[in-house]
Structure 1
Amino acid sequence: MRELKILAVVVFFTLLTYFLVEPYAHSQMHKHVDSEGFTYNDLPALTKKGDATRGQELIINGGCAGCHSIEAAGMPAPMDGVMAAQSYGVNPPDLSNAGAIYEAKFLSDLIKNPAHALKVEHKFDAASGKMHPMVPFYGMGGDIDQEVADMVAYLQSIAVKPEEVTPAMAFEDACGRCHAVGYENWTQLGTKPRFKHEKDSLAFDIKLLEYQDSLKAYMGKLPPDLSMYYRSRNEHFLSTFIENPQNHLAGTAMPRVGVTADAAEKVIEYLADSADTKRHEREAIGKNVMIFMVIFAIFALLWKKQVWRDLH
């Protein structure tokens, strides 16, 4: 009888924890956030049709090329990543494929009002004198909406087709200047090469530490290594966090990156591959095992019929 009472108490508290305490704790610590569909409805839509030729002139003369590289157009970075981070807090991205990875209206608002597009106005408030390191585009004397539309059209014209963007390209462009992925040998300065001499490896590490120091000062702390984030979080969390970090962590220094829904899927695919480097190999082996089992079952059935036919 005593044992039954103990069992009843254990069962009661187990059910209480499972059905009441755990769901409540989960809802408080990991609230559910609905996806916004990567539509960025808080940003104004482009109302002008852009002219890529005019946009090229504006990109070059409007100051973009003074901070950003555009390798697709033969424009190298004006300074290396370490110096750029010391100047701006983080290395400005290459714009070659920005038109394929980022939503058009995000790019438009980013050009005109970086802090608003990135949702970091709580951190960079012009009224308090703390400006975002990316200088807003105030126009070249004409219709600013038309000029911005031209610049976006140019970025789209030089980019690869959206379907040609690989998971690595999407991640490196949108996330890779702040986050490392140790399992992929990715650092904030790019993939760490295999050096022949240790001194060269140490020289790279010193540059990386200098970059990370600038990034810490800019972000408040060093952004985490994302090697295992696909396994420690679920896919919905990652998607909605990429879409709008403020929905999960109000006041976070992480900016909204403004990627398209397709680019976000590719970022998550990259994270999935980094968290499980044998994922595709294992899936292929699983298919081969199932094929073997089917073939083996067929031969076993035929053999069984042959044996029983001889016995009868």
Structure 2
Amino acid sequence: MKNKEPLILAVVVFFSLVTYYLVEPYAHHVMHKQVDSENFAYADLPSVTKTGNAANGKALVTGAAACTGCHSISKDGMPAPMDAVTAAASYGVNPPDLSNAGAVYDVKFLTDLIKNPAHALKVEHKFDANKGQMHPMVPFFGAGGDLDQEVADMVAYLQSIAVSKDELTPKVAYENACGRCHALSYENWTQIGTKPTFKHKKDSLAFDIQVLEYQDSLTKYMGKLPPDLSMYIRSRGEHYVSTFIENPQNHLAGTAMPRVGVTADSAEKVIEHLKDAGDTKRAERESVGQNVMWYILIFAIFAYLWKRSVWKELH
């Protein structure tokens, strides 16, 4: 009897591959726009040529530049001038704490952000100064000296107080880069921080009301409420999320979402946090998956040997 099993296997493999192509690569890369990564190089922003002085930078950040008029720097003992809900009502979104800005954000991005926020964030279509549409963050025009040197000093100060690249955790990277606009309900994260466990229901409701008030201000500022990202990494995929963080305009031209400006390392940590949020059993599942694959391989070998032993008379 002629052995037709290889032919049958080939047919099954062929149709399986065709089905996979139609469901995965075709659906994701043909039916949907493919956006290539820019490698977080921020090629549209000017290079930084000045070497900053952190001591001078601190004096500027806390003095002439008036950064602490809106931003907290908790690492240096400088609290926020107002709570998150009040800040959102004033600016549309709560200004971030700057303690780890020097670790989370790219140097070129930070430099341009200080001088021209709308340009660095790629939201000039929304905030056109010529039309009187000013970005809530006021540009720094200098304190009387060399503007580029003064900005370099400010960035140097922010880098000096930030944690190192290795110490920056995925959670902190997410909270800085995304957490003031996007909730992460699977991690109990709201736009105003992690929701505590309350003893009394009324306290829980009071917190929820604060979140709703913040979201109302954020919705007015952005045009719509930014989505909860708990399952985004699973529904959209790592490449989509990474390139969206890098430059939202490449995916949705005219979107109100600003460019985040994170470094490549920070983006990886944001992605890592989203993976953990979307799949809390990820590490355990990957470990079990490896064991299952080894089991299947060993089982297949024994099955093949058993088949040859039992059916050898028929071939």
The alignment partner of 1:242 has SS state of helix
What do the CA deviations read for 1:157-181 (whole angstroms, capped 9, x no partner)?
A: 0000011111100000000000001
Is 1:77–2:43 an aligned residue pair? no
Gaps of 5+ in 1: 1-15, 297-312
Aligned mates of 1:89, 1:29 — CA distance in 2: 35
Gaps of 5+ in 2: 1-17, 300-315
Moved more, 123-132 or 233-242: 233-242
> When the two structures are aligned, how many residues end up with a matched partner?
281
Aligned mates of 1:179, 1:288 — CA distance in 2: 36
Partner residue of 1:262 out of 262, 265, 269: 265
- Structure 1 residues 265 and 18: alpha-carbon distance in aligned structure 2, compared to 1, 3 A threshold: closer
- Structure 1 residues 163 and 18: alpha-carbon distance in aligned structure 2, compared to 1, 3 A threshold: closer
Q: Measure how far apart 1:230 and its partner are.
A: 0.8
Matched residue, 2:113: 110
Is 1:225–2:224 an aligned residue pair? no
Partner residue of 1:56 out of 55, 58, 62: 58
Matched residue, 1:310: none
Q: Measure how far apart 1:284 and its partner are.
A: 3.4
Partner residue of 1:34 out of 25, 36, 39: 36
Q: Measure how far apart 1:283 and its partner are.
A: 2.5
What do the CA deviations read for 1:228-279 (whole angstroms, capped 9, x no partner)?
A: 1011111111111100000000000000010000000010111111110110
Partner residue of 1:99 out of 83, 91, 102: 102
- Structure 1 residues 19 and 268: alpha-carbon distance in aligned structure 2, compared to 1, 3 A threshold: closer
Q: Measure how far apart 1:27 and its partner are.
A: 5.5
Matched residue, 1:47: 49
Identical pairs, percent: 74
Aligned mates of 1:202, 1:44 — CA distance in 2: 47
- Structure 1 residues 263 and 183: alpha-carbon distance in aligned structure 2, compared to 1, 3 A threshold: same
CA RMSD in angstroms comes to 2.6
Following TM superposition, the consecutive aligned residue runs of length 4 or more in structure 1 with deviations greater than 4 angstroms are 16-20, 22-29, 286-296
Matched residue, 2:302: none
What do the CA deviations read for 1:259-304 (whole angstroms, capped 9, x no partner)?
A: 00000001011111111011012223445667899999xxxxxxxx
Matched residue, 2:287: 284
TM-score between both structures, scaled by the size of structure 2: 0.84
Aligned mates of 2:55, 2:213 — CA distance in 1: 39
TM-score between both structures, scaled by the size of structure 1: 0.85
Is 1:148–2:151 an aligned residue pair? yes
Aligned mates of 1:294, 1:101 — CA distance in 2: 43
Residues 1-312 of structure 1 correspond to what in structure 2 (within 5 A)?
30-61=32-63, 62-286=65-289
Q: Measure how far apart 1:29 and its partner are.
A: 5.3
The alignment partner of 2:166 has SS state of helix
Q: Measure how far apart 1:55 and its partner are.
A: 0.1
- Structure 1 residues 167 and 23: alpha-carbon distance in aligned structure 2, compared to 1, 3 A threshold: closer
Aligned mates of 1:236, 1:277 — CA distance in 2: 20
Aligned mates of 1:208, 1:275 — CA distance in 2: 22
